[in-house]
Amino acid sequence: MSSAMVTPAATTVRVPAKVNLELLVGPARADGFHSLSTVYQAVSLFDDVTVESADDWSVVVRGAQASFVPADATNLALRGARALADAAGVQTPVAITIDKEIPVAGGMAGGSADAAAALVACDHHWGLRTRREELEELAAELGSDVPFLIAGGTAMGSGRGELIAPVLARGAFNWVFALAREGLSTPSVFRELDRLRGDAEVLEPVPSPELMSALRSGDAHSLAAVLANDLQEAAFSLRPELRECLDAGMAFGALGGIVSGSGPTIAFLVADREAALDLAVSLTASGAAADVRRASGPVQGAQVVTGPRALG
Ligand code: C5P
């Protein structure tokens, strides 16, 4: 056998979206971020990120919302690939293709998901076997949610959200996501929260024991009762119609509802798949939501879905 490099022709990584079951926001820090205590769950809405060796760095985005994603050097997947190349001393550029299903600027970490996928894809493509801690460090520099999207499952996030630890969660949960027509910028929602809080004292947040026990029980009714998001009022303040969407979903029979991350997507927890279908139909038929997606969680984080094919 020759010693020719065994490089996959193309590597595809599938990466999930996230919802925050609890998002508690502490004081603003000196670096401009807020300290957080959050519990993430990865849900079955996916982007596929494919990397192929090429003469130059590039990124193409495909899907209904592709035009809302920058296809230049600011693209988070491209930044992820280049960050790993720099860290590992790799000289070969990759062409990246993103098949996008995760709502853009929807509070579901679509951009962070692509960054996580690019790191995992390039690590595999270049045969680096980067240590998990090192990959997580690169991930954290790209965005607060990126380390979680590599890990997946259900996990606690602290710091600015980037320090993750797994959480014991039983069972599977069914979600309906109500999408808005227009995205919300995460920094603007945090700024609105600061404005609403004014001079009020804000304590360092800690995860609630009620949420942890609901997750251990695996019971959707218990979980629905303790969903919490400190960014919700700020998102409502910027987009009052989101409150109506949440109220409509609850009136249509959701067990619980919450703004997902910084919004504008609203996440509804339902009892089972049939309830998910019923709620999805009601939300769209009534016009309460521009569009809906059904998903379940938890699911695994960024995973290679194409095996390497040996060249040469
Ligand atoms: O790190 P990430 O890309 O998720 O952050 C996007 C923006 O959201 C930050 O630039 C910051 O304005 C805001 N943010 C924050 N506190 C956090 C996470 C994000 O203020 N813990």
> CB neighbours (10 Å) of residue 222?
17
Alpha-carbon Rg for the chain, nearest whole angstrom, is 20
pLDDT greater than 90 at residue 5? no
How many CA atoms are closer than 13 Å to the CA of 170, on its beta-carbon side? 7
pLDDT value of position 1: 42
Mean predicted confidence (pLDDT) in 233-245: 97
Yes or no: say if 89 and 48 are a contact pair by the CB < 8 Å rule: no
For the chain, how many helices (H) and strands (E)? Answer: 10, 12
211/233 Cα distance (integer angstroms): 20
pLDDT value of position 6: 60
Whether 36 lines ligand 1, by a CB cut-off of 6 Å, is yes
Whether 158 lines ligand 1, by a CB cut-off of 6 Å, is no
Whether 187 lines ligand 1, by a CB cut-off of 6 Å, is yes
pLDDT greater than 50 at residue 311? no
229/232 Cα distance (integer angstroms): 5
Yes or no: say if 300 and 13 are a contact pair by the CB < 8 Å rule: no
Yes or no: say if 42 and 297 are a contact pair by the CB < 8 Å rule: yes
Among the listed residues 176, 197, 203, the one whose alpha carbon sits nearest the alpha carbon of residue 265: 176
Yes or no: say if 266 and 246 are a contact pair by the CB < 8 Å rule: yes
Residue 151 φ/ψ region, left for φ over 0, alpha for ψ in the -120 to 50 degree band, beta for the rest: alpha
Whether 33 lines ligand 1, by a CB cut-off of 6 Å, is yes
Please, which pLDDT band fits residue 259 given cuts at 50, 70 and 90?
very high
pLDDT greater than 50 at residue 312? no
pLDDT greater than 80 at residue 7? no
pLDDT greater than 90 at residue 307? no
How many percent of the chain have pLDDT more than 90?
Answer: 92
Model confidence over 95-153: pLDDT tens digits? 999 999 999 889 999 999 999 999 999 999 999 999 999 999 999 999 999 999 999 99
3-state percent breakdown (helix, strand, coil) of the chain, nearest 5: 35, 30, 40
- CA–centroid distance, 251 to ligand 1, in Å, is 32
Q: Which of 186, 230, 231 to mutate to test the pocket of ligand 1 (most atoms within 8 A of CB)?
A: 186
Model confidence over 205-228: pLDDT tens digits? 999 999 999 999 999 999 999 999
Whether 57 lines ligand 1, by a CB cut-off of 6 Å, is no
CA angle 219, 173, 283 (to 5 degrees): 115
Question: Ligand 1 atom 3: the closest Cα is on which residue?
Answer: 143
Whether 34 lines ligand 1, by a CB cut-off of 6 Å, is yes
Active site residues: 18, 145
Q: Give the chain's mean pLDDT.
A: 94
Which atom, in ligand 1's list, is nearest to the CA of 34?
16
Whether 107 lines ligand 1, by a CB cut-off of 6 Å, is no
Q: Which of 160, 193, 204, 230 to mutate to test the pocket of ligand 1 (most atoms within 8 A of CB)?
A: 160
Among the listed residues 44, 35, 10, the one whose alpha carbon sits nearest the alpha carbon of residue 113: 44
- CA–centroid distance, 276 to ligand 1, in Å, is 31
Mapping DSSP to helix (H, G, I), strand (E, B) and coil, where does residue 119 land? helix
Q: What dihedral angle (degrees, nearest 10) is formed by the CA atoms of 156, 109, 75, 189?
A: -100
pLDDT value of position 181: 87
| Single-letter code of the amino acid located at 185 | S
